[in-house]
Structure 1
Amino acid sequence: MPETTPKGLTRLAFGGDYNPEQWPENVWQDDVRLMREAGVTMVSVGIFSWALLEPAPGAYDFGWLDRIIDLLHENGIRVDLATPTAAPPVWFYREHPEALPVTADGVRYEFGSRAAICHSNADYRAAAANIATRLAERYGDHPALAMWHVHNEYGVPVSACYCASCAAHFRRWLETAYGTVEAVNEAWGTAFWGQRYAAFGDINPPRTTPTVGNPGQALDYRRFADATMRENFVMERDILHRLAPGVPVTTNFMTALSQCDSVDYWAWGREVDLVSNDHYLITDGRRTHVNLAMAADLTRSVAGGAPWILLEHSTSGVNWQPRNPAKAPGQMARNSLGHVARGSEGAMFFQWRQSRRGAEKFHSSMVPHGGTDTRVWREVVELGASLGSLNPIRGTRTEADVAVLWDWHSWWAQNLAWRPSEDHDPRERADAFYEALYDRHLTVDFAHPEADLSRYPLVVVPALYLMTEAAGDNLKAYVENGGTLVVSYFSGIVDASDAVHEGAYPGALRDVLGLTVEEFSPLLQGEHVRITGPDGSELSGDVWTEFVEPRGAETVWTYADGLTAGRPAVTRHRLGEGTAWYVSTRLGAEGLDALLGRAAEDARVAPRADLPRDVEVVRRSGDTGSYLFAINHTATDAKVPLDRSGTELLTGERAAGRLAVPAGAVRVVRLDG
């Protein structure tokens, strides 16, 4: 079995992307001195260094990399060594211009940015295999090597190419997946609009067409593009496994960022030895710490609940949003330890020293332009000390209360053209339901729709337009065996080929929900509907309504106006030992809280009314004990109840009864017993 923890790393990972090639060598000694001062334990090296390592075809210069890795080793700093295959050199594109990707409109990208790669290109694959081999042969047994870092952020900024090489590769992929062209025609419904294919050779990528193309073809091309990137990762991984046995291989994911929705991380999580993730705050006015928690929970879930590593985040502002505010004092520590609470074995950053040139020179770093006489540097040093004191948590696992179903294939299908309403955003629903669970102080695992859900008392389905019959059967069995299920509208509608399930909506979920939907009735922009409960309570919905017909389900809330007035809006279905809830409109925060409150009662999930809003409490446990993380995202001191006394690891103080958590602070208690 491959190693699943960084080799030789005996502390939590703390450090960042280190790009010494951007600096004269006389800066390197100062870098390493500062790393030791900050408590850095590992750095990522070589991510964009192909042009320096192989300055001409077959000509190699490893001297500078030898020197920096040796220097890091001499100072006790482990190395996450990258294969630089996200950035082929200009000479490669000069010799192989067809390796540059082509858009659906037929435009070929130019060299001059990053990750401009056609992943089907045979010359790219050969060159990537070669540089990975050279690195593994040279550094595979270096004592500083902790793990391998293949490529960088697959799928960003290009996942799909539409060139002739990709067309040929797509045809081979389809033939393997379907066997016959008749099976492709059936899956894609090519009888519609006369799109029937006579042979695999007739099929092209879904390039730009006069109007909407075939949705089944578009969905399969998303799968193909993802699988093609994964083929290249596996190729490099296998080279590294063969030449450097015992050293884990990873690549940095971006699990919860909507900008990276082209990757099926459930599939990728099975291919890496160690799951790692990059996360950057989207500062759009929302509560950024909620999305951070969501990203960490999703990454941990992709890792199967095992510890993972936050491989990149920012010390302060980023550089690629329309507006890039700095982090508030103390926010960097809260962000970092929030990831650790939810399973990360450390906190790494992009990057170590802030660049003076290039596209990311205004992206914050551990050593800012202003040097060590800055707030950011002082907070970096404080964070390093804090992580040092949390070493006992290594290897423990985060405890979850409930599950949320998540499937990248469903996102891909949902986001194709010509759906009933462009105002329905499945990702918005996922974020909204997650935030409602977060505000109820429930820790979330994410799960694939066909996964074993038996350990969760409550399972939430925010938006799964695509759902297989197997997934529907899985949810039915879950409820029959005593689980509580909550499903939001426009879920269970199509199968894996984007074909509507035979019979009435909601297809794969009809039986478990005990209802059918006669018709969708999306609302116009700005329209709202009132829904009323049997106790006289009133909620508001927008974006979507449905004509729901109960088939065993009871009506809990009813539409009070609009086209669906008098019809069920929220239903509850007792099935076997469990209960399934369905909501057919888009509820706001108040409505979601009311719905989840009722469902939590069915699931016997105890409320946490004793915890203030935006005070995050998460537990990790394992062989070394049980640890309670309390993160105060507010400007007010808070008290968190403890069910056991313990020792607070960041201050060394004893804690019992109620734990004091100052405004903006983090506390971690190792519980007794």
Structure 2
Amino acid sequence: MVTHKGKDWRTEQFRLGVCYYPEQWPDHLWKDDFCRMKELGFSVVRVAEFAWSIFEPEEGRFEFDLFDRAIDLAHQCGMLVIMSTPTTTPPAWLTAKYPEVLNAKQDGTVYQHGQRRHFNYNSPIYLELCARIVTQLAEHYKDHPGVVGWQIDNELNCEVNTFYSKADHAAFRVWLQDKYGSLQALNQAWGAVFWNQTYSDWSQVHLTRPTPTNSPNPHQALDEKRFFSDSAISYAKFQSEILREKAANQWVTTNGMFGHLDSHQMMDDTLDVFAYDSYPNFSTILPDKGDRPLLDRKWSLNLSAARDVSPNFIVMEQQAGPGGWVNRIEMPSPKPGQMRLWTYQSIAHGADMVLYFRWRTATMGTEIYWHGLNDYHNRPNRRIEEAGRIGGELKRIGGQLLGTTYQAEVAILKDYDNEWDGELDVWHGPLTGKSISGWFKALQRHHIPADTKYLRSSTTLEDLTKYQLLVYPHPAIMPESTAELLKSYVENGGTLILGCRSGYKDTTGQCYMQPFPGPLADLCGIEVEDFTLIGPLQQAPDIQWEGGNLLQGDAFVDILRVTSDNAEVLASYASDYYAGKPALVRSTRGKGTAYYYGSAFTEEAAGALIAENGLVSPAANWAELPEDVELAIRSHDGMQKCFAILMNYAHEERGVTFFSRKRDLLTDTVLHGIVTMKPFEVYVIEI
């Protein structure tokens, strides 16, 4: 854990701002830019994440004039500044002189200079050069009255989250030696006796490499992901330690939430606050699969994961325009009102500071189609007008929201081991995305706020008992300690819902020699007597629920056998060779209940379980909300003040019925009876 934290990142007002690149624009534009930002209600800018060669144009020679002038001017115009360590894009002089800093593909092909994130985290010379530039920047800007915080690097593990340079292979061996202590223990953990993979010397051990079947040892692959994460965290931590020593009065963050990185551990070890980059329009090119996709509304699920890392967080990059590189990521423009909707979506889920990406669209480089607030011509446009409206609103009411936290009585459980193991293991990995999507759709359309909660070795019973219901879709890896924690949660009155393929692997990824679901079998009162994937030419089975609902399973079938007098069958398979066999079993234990569902969760199945458990929206006693409107609730500790945020994601008007008089704080308008919400409209209501 962090032993010394920097300055608190919060301020007395809600900070709205923007990412700015003074090195990309003539300096005669700067003052006008900062003045216009201030007029919009902005008060913070992020700078310098890609500016290493500006600060160090050649090795060992440092220059600060450009950013000194820009930061001084921003401060004079009333703007706070978040500085960045510029280590995400090492300069050409560095990669030319020290090619060992470059990352490599799994087959050993070395990435070349260009684009970004082309380095590795374990090159000793790269760490040395990073330490030097971070130290220089920290010492230079530590006392600047306008600089309030630091962003470490930029979007760790974005673009590429695998690392196979020579330095990484060497560091992996050291990491394994520290973890296992001996080759004998490593061989056992990796099941190396299978297919004669046993190692007799540490020099034989590597990260995964190409194989004839393109299928590495799964236990090696799991440890590899853990190593990638630890490498990134170590890289962030050494920068953070420099900043804490040299610039102790400025806070530290980093942005993004990307693959093969335990963001929770990074937060614990390294940061004062977590920052997330919110781009809901990715949903137009990566829609959630299945019926009735949520599109940009599904970004609330991503924001809930960021909120689990840091209950209140910064959105360092909020989408402000259509996104697109010159060769990929083609997105439509946000419609009028959508940028405002997305801003309040971030705020609803815990953001206490929001910066748009970016102030002005780049006229050069790969991101010339990743649009910011201003277009190339720098003249007024509808996005600027919309930003000004948001700035005025938050100037009036933003302070009331600061420090309030998102309220939920339901949580969807995740963990990094299953996430990483499921990338390779198609017998459980793909199920999780299906089921989380089904549950999130059902909860959203029932207007039941939900958290994402990552289970970790540090998770306590108190962390879980604040939730009425937990959904853990397909936790194949189930340590005994986690099973015991879940048992305690249920015994203390909680409701736990599990899906198929639960509980059959240990922390190495090896399978227990126990009936499925392994250490969860006693809690659930069942054993899995048979199972099958649903093949591509097969029909998913019908499932007959008590009370008459006939729903369809999805993707996989666990055929259950009840083993406890405290368990009862709530649904059975109605088709195929397992017709009549249990599909959903409810088991009571202590004060609580555990459910085991033998398939992947659809929205319909999740909706049936919501009804089974009597879950209702916290808005049920004061409003009737249509499906397209999201409900989020933020409140202060002790619920002294509670705010409901309603967001209409529909491209058409939607009617909301208010049973009692409420007031929209954004417009100071009374809401009562049937009220028409415009497309993308937002209400903030004190309740």
**TM-score normalised per structure 2:** 0.92
Unaligned runs of 5+ in 1: 255-259
| Deviation per residue, 1:259-302 (Å, 9 max, x gap) | x3221122122131111101212214532233221122111111
Match of 2:583 among 546, 559, 569: 569
Unaligned runs of 5+ in 2: 288-292
1:489-500 to structure 2, matched below 5 A, reads 489-500=500-511
Q: State the Cα distance separating 1:548 from its structure 2 match.
A: 1.4
Matched, 1:264 2:262: yes
Query: In structure 2, the residue corresponding to 1:557 is in which secondary structure?
Result: strand
Q: Which amino acid aligns with 1:262?
A: H
**Structure 1 CA distance, aligned partners of 2:636 and 2:50?**
37
Which residue matches 1:184?
186
1:204-219 to structure 2, matched below 5 A, reads 204-211=206-213, 212-219=215-222
Q: State the Cα distance separating 1:586 from its structure 2 match.
A: 2.6
Q: State the Cα distance separating 1:425 from its structure 2 match.
A: 3.8
Query: In structure 1, the residue corresponding to 2:560 is in which secondary structure?
Result: strand
Query: In structure 2, the residue corresponding to 1:81 is in which secondary structure?
Result: strand
Which residue matches 2:571?
557
Query: In structure 2, the residue corresponding to 1:590 is in which secondary structure?
Result: helix
Match of 2:440 among 434, 440, 443: 434
Which residue matches 1:198?
200
**Structure 2 CA distance, aligned partners of 1:347 and 1:562?**
52
Instruction: Tell me, yes or no, if the aligned pair for 2:322 and 2:331 is still in contact at 8 Å.
Output: yes
Matched, 1:50 2:67: no
Q: State the Cα distance separating 1:239 from its structure 2 match.
A: 0.3
Indicate the larger mover: 48-57 or 155-164: 155-164
Which residue matches 1:70?
72
**Structure 2 CA distance, aligned partners of 1:141 and 1:428?**
50
| Deviation per residue, 1:319-342 (Å, 9 max, x gap) | 155531111110111111011011
Query: In structure 2, the residue corresponding to 1:428 is in which secondary structure?
Result: helix
Match of 2:519 among 470, 490, 508: 508
| Deviation per residue, 1:133-154 (Å, 9 max, x gap) | 0000000111011210000000
Matched, 1:353 2:360: yes
Q: Which amino acid aligns with 1:636?
A: E
**Structure 1 CA distance, aligned partners of 2:46 and 2:478?**
39
Which residue matches 1:541?
553
**Structure 2 CA distance, aligned partners of 1:34 and 1:530?**
60
Instruction: Tell me, yes or no, if the aligned pair for 1:159 and 1:229 is still in contact at 8 Å.
Output: no
Which residue matches 1:586?
600
Indicate the larger mover: 290-299 or 106-115: 290-299
Q: State the Cα distance separating 1:250 from its structure 2 match.
A: 0.4
1:644-659 to structure 2, matched below 5 A, reads 647-654=663-670
Query: In structure 2, the residue corresponding to 1:497 is in which secondary structure?
Result: coil
Matched, 1:459 2:484: no
**Structure 2 CA distance, aligned partners of 1:460 and 1:370?**
50
Instruction: Tell me, yes or no, if the aligned pair for 1:300 and 1:342 is still in contact at 8 Å.
Output: yes
Q: Which amino acid aligns with 2:603?
A: A
Q: Which amino acid aligns with 2:418?
A: S
| Deviation per residue, 1:625-650 (Å, 9 max, x gap) | 3222121223224335477x665321
Q: From the superposition, tell whether residues 19 and 604 of structure 1 become closer, same or farther in structure 2 (CA, over 3 Å).
A: closer
**Structure 2 CA distance, aligned partners of 1:157 and 1:604?**
40
Q: Which amino acid aligns with 2:368?
A: K
Q: From the superposition, tell whether residues 556 and 528 of structure 1 become closer, same or farther in structure 2 (CA, over 3 Å).
A: same
Q: Which amino acid aligns with 2:437?
A: D
**Structure 2 CA distance, aligned partners of 1:411 and 1:444?**
20
Q: Which amino acid aligns with 1:147?
A: G
**Structure 2 CA distance, aligned partners of 1:57 and 1:511?**
63
Match of 2:112 among 79, 101, 110: 110
Instruction: Tell me, yes or no, if the aligned pair for 1:521 and 1:544 is still in contact at 8 Å.
Output: yes
| Deviation per residue, 1:11-35 (Å, 9 max, x gap) | 2221222111111111112211211
**Structure 2 CA distance, aligned partners of 1:53 and 1:4?**
25
Indicate the larger mover: 507-516 or 646-655: 646-655
Matched, 1:313 2:306: no
**Structure 1 CA distance, aligned partners of 2:239 and 2:618?**
47
Which residue matches 2:392?
385
Q: From the superposition, tell whether residues 640 and 474 of structure 1 become closer, same or farther in structure 2 (CA, over 3 Å).
A: farther
Match of 1:154 among 146, 153, 156: 156
1:203-352 to structure 2, matched below 5 A, reads 203-211=205-213, 212-254=215-257, 260-270=258-268, 271-281=270-280, 282=282, 283-284=284-285, 285=287, 286-303=293-310, 305=311, 307-320=312-325, 322-352=329-359
**Structure 2 CA distance, aligned partners of 1:586 and 1:605?**
24
Which residue matches 1:638?
655
Which residue matches 1:468?
479
Match of 1:443 among 437, 445, 449: 449
Matched, 1:404 2:402: no
Q: From the superposition, tell whether residues 640 and 53 of structure 1 become closer, same or farther in structure 2 (CA, over 3 Å).
A: farther
Q: From the superposition, tell whether residues 670 and 536 of structure 1 become closer, same or farther in structure 2 (CA, over 3 Å).
A: closer
Q: State the Cα distance separating 1:206 from its structure 2 match.
A: 0.8
Instruction: Tell me, yes or no, if the aligned pair for 1:47 and 1:82 is still in contact at 8 Å.
Output: yes
Count of residue pairs the alignment pairs up: 658
**Structure 2 CA distance, aligned partners of 1:639 and 1:5?**
39
Q: From the superposition, tell whether residues 372 and 640 of structure 1 become closer, same or farther in structure 2 (CA, over 3 Å).
A: farther
Query: RMSD between aligned alpha carbons?
Result: 2.1
Q: State the Cα distance separating 1:655 from its structure 2 match.
A: 5.3
Q: Which amino acid aligns with 1:632?
A: N
**Structure 2 CA distance, aligned partners of 1:157 and 1:663?**
34
**Structure 1 CA distance, aligned partners of 2:252 and 2:455?**
27
| Deviation per residue, 1:475-498 (Å, 9 max, x gap) | 111111111111111222212110
**Structure 1 CA distance, aligned partners of 2:36 and 2:119?**
36
Matched, 1:532 2:531: no
Q: State the Cα distance separating 1:50 from its structure 2 match.
A: 0.3
Instruction: Tell me, yes or no, if the aligned pair for 2:663 and 2:669 is still in contact at 8 Å.
Output: yes
**Structure 1 CA distance, aligned partners of 2:386 and 2:307?**
26
**Structure 2 CA distance, aligned partners of 1:647 and 1:99?**
57
Q: Which amino acid aligns with 1:392?
A: Q
**Structure 2 CA distance, aligned partners of 1:614 and 1:20?**
40
Query: In structure 2, the residue corresponding to 1:431 is in which secondary structure?
Result: helix
Indicate the larger mover: 205-214 or 662-671: 662-671
**Structure 2 CA distance, aligned partners of 1:425 and 1:536?**
26
Q: State the Cα distance separating 1:253 from its structure 2 match.
A: 2.1
**Structure 2 CA distance, aligned partners of 1:590 and 1:604?**
16
Matched, 1:395 2:403: yes
Identity %: 31
Query: In structure 2, the residue corresponding to 1:80 is in which secondary structure?
Result: strand
